[in-house]
A = this chain, B = another copy of it.
Amino acid sequence: MIGDWWSLLIVRNALMGQRRFGEFQKSLGVARNILTVRLRKLVECDILEIAPASDGSAYQEYALTKKGRDLFHVLEALRQWGCENFFETGEATKVLVDRKHGRPVKKFELRAEDGRLLEPEETLLQLAPGMPGR
């Protein structure tokens, strides 16, 4: 249900308060057709539910259900794992391996678009260009 590229990121952003199609689309940079399918699947799985727009506009919103909010613990465990194991030494590096043979290619640091090295707490939101979840 949440093993694909985007679903867990959508849930994460929903936990941060996002509710609208356009919010998810812009914050994640996901293609709109994909987002449509992911949102529908999450609704079908009872992780999100459709709610009337809170701002009175004609559109709908996507709200987390209990099952969806419960995923916080998974996200939090993942976040902690990342923080403890990749930032305690101060190095925010990412391992790159050759896709075919799994051999190391290079390691690079996670930097913001302005070149600044990212702090741990930022990396949940700001990821390297080309990675999902920006």
List the B side residues contacting A5 at CB < 8 Å.
3
Number of interface residues of A (CB under 8 A): 32
Is there an interface contact between A101 and B44, defined as CB atoms closer than 8 Å? no
Which chain B residue shows the least CB distance to A47?
A: B85
Question: Are B81 and A37 in contact (CB-based, < 8 A)?
Answer: no
Residue of B nearest to A65 (CB): B85
Q: Given A95-B44, A97-B44, is A74 in contact with B77 using a C-beta cutoff of 8 Å?
A: yes
Binding site for B on A (CB under 8 A): 1, 3, 5, 36-41, 44-45, 66-67, 70-71, 73-74, 76-78, 80-81, 84-85, 95, 97, 99-104
**Inter-chain pairs besides A37-B102, A40-B103, A44-B97, 13 sampled, C-beta below 8 Å:** A1-B95, A3-B5, A37-B99, A37-B101, A38-B102, A40-B97, A44-B103, A67-B81, A67-B85, A73-B80, A74-B74, A74-B81, A76-B77
